[in-house]
Amino acid sequence: MLRADVEQRRPVAYLDRALPIAFAHRGGAAHQPENSWAAFEHAVSLGYTHLETDTRATQDGILLAFHDRTLDRVTDRRGRISRLPYREVSAARINGTEEIPLIEDLIMAWPDLRFNVDLKDVPAIQPMMEVLRRTRAWDRVCVTSFSARRLHAARVLLDRPVCMALSPAGVATLRMTGGLPRFGEALAAKLARTGVHCAQVPLQIATPTFVRQAHDAGLQVHVWTLNRRADMERALDLGADGIMTDQTVLLREVLTERGLWNQN
């Protein structure tokens, strides 16, 4: 089976950074309210080049950087986002103080940075594709989802390829069949055609075997969401190509100690 080297695992502009890549999960939720301007700004001040976030659309199709289905957990308002107009959602404040950012505003605020965007529901798909068209951020966004159907729907609407992460179904398939002879080359070709260039998985899935199989298929492996030093060290020892964390200061320290802080 073909063994992909580091350069083969950086096939698109989004991933064209020295490895490992450090991702600020929800902007770096350990230091500032999650998915808030303050969190993203803090991560940028630390030198992060890749910002992870989530997206949901309001009733009138405005795309937010927001994780939950409802406003209830992290804001001072209540209600399901997809059933509320933006004029109501815009009044909500994260932790009672922070405005909910728009995905488009984040992308435009830092034109040199990359964004890992998790499509949380179907209503977000069309608005996300429209944001990509308006911002022309094709090379700066990786589209991810826990739903293979949402990823397929997004792919159909794309005007041009963007980086995508392997769906959970794809991860399961890779785990079951990745060790078969010649499977790596065939899968690498298929995934490249569909824009899939990385597997984003929890640490328990990122075994040495899985990392090898993903690399053989031409995929980077990004591990989430690691907030303890021991887990970060383990992922790096396993050969992970990226780590997502809320603890952005700690991850920078760990990578710096290893001579791997290459985000700038």
How far CA 219 is from CA of 2, 37, 171, 190, in Å, comes to 12, 31, 11, 12
d(CA 192, CA 154): 16
Nearest to 127 by CA among 213, 46, 212, 66: 66
Whether 25 is a known active-site residue: answer yes
68: left (phi over 0), alpha (psi -120 to 50) or beta: beta
Pair 225, 25: CB distance under 8 Å:
yes
Token pair of 175 as six digits: 């785990």
The Cα 155–Cα 196 span in angstroms is: 10
For 6-113, list the strands marked E by DSSP: 21-25, 50-57, 63-65, 93-94, 98-99
Helices 229-238 and 248-257 sit at what angle, rounded to 10 degrees? 50
Q: Which residue has the tokens 């096939």?
A: 11
CA distance 119 to 214: 23
Selected catalytic residue, list 25, 42, 215, 222: 25
Active-site residue, selected from the candidate residues 31, 42, 50, 67: 67
Q: If DSSP codes are grouped into helix, strand and coil, which group holds residue 212? A: helix
How far apart are alpha carbons 234 and 49 in whole angstroms?
22
50 in active site? no
User: Do the strands 163-165 and 114-119 form a parallel or antiparallel pair, or are they unpaired?
Assistant: unpaired
Q: Which residues are the active-site residues?
A: 25, 67
